Structure 1
Amino acid sequence: MKVIQPPSLLLTIVNHKVLESPHAHGMTFSLAYGVMNHRDGRTRLALAGSVPVILCRNNGDIQVFESDSAPVGQTAVTRYDDHEFVLQAGDRLLMLTHGLMRILNKTSPSVLNTLSGLMKLSTLEPLDAVYNTLQHWLDTLGVSTDTEDLTLLLLERSAP
């Protein structure tokens, strides 16, 4: 099995394949791709389109990774950047889809700050805190999860 590194190279390859495919004509999508060395936590992450990724350190520090690159399939002339960091035990990554961000931005312009704050909570499991808040926002907006792309991924690195 061949691993393509850096992740930005994979996004470039996927972008060109989508643009060249007659079956994918007009298709665009956001994409996050990363690789992590499970021994030491070294991580490289590349983003296409508007997939924000929140890194919450075990000590409570927050870092938000966002991309100003075009989504996959939109243009052949785009550059994807790699973000490099080390995931330590207890660090968490939260990823949201564009559809979820679009909906949440209607209720709170600082939605990333709110979600970042929830990631810091130690009294609740972070997934429960994030889920309860998202459910409240969706109920408030009357959004149907049957018609929107609502995806959230939460990863936590355990002790090696």
Structure 2
Amino acid sequence: MRRLPRVDDIVLIAGLFRALVRRELDALAAGGPPPATEEPVRTELVRAASWRAARSGLDGELIDPVEGVPRPARTVVGRMLEELRPQLEESGDWALVSSLAGRTLADGGSAARQREAFRRGGRLTDVVDLLLEETRSGNRRLAAAGR
């Protein structure tokens, strides 16, 4: 399992997940099939898309879930945000989630930051130091916010 050292990354994923669940529940309540089941996707394609995402992260291409073809991560994430905007606005999460997504896309994911730390210093301890610092800074921000 990959670790997410930054609290902001966890908040971003939680916000997106909540919006996805809300969208599916809204579709069920309206009496129609949820959007995710309109066209079944073969298990091996889901595995391949997951492998690609784990390997490339936000630096490469992701499989566009609508078209089923590789697209730049920025494009896929941008489309997902726009599609989930009604649910994110309804929950009051739009400003935070869209801001965090923009920053994450600009900064790169944790894997990219770890690779860069290793490239700069050439030691695995540099990667560990980065992870510790990112975790500590997130914890300090939470403590300052009284959470």
Higher relative contact order (CA 8 A, sep 6+): 2
More helix by share: 2
TM-score by length of structure 1 reads 0.28
TM-score by length of structure 2 reads 0.29
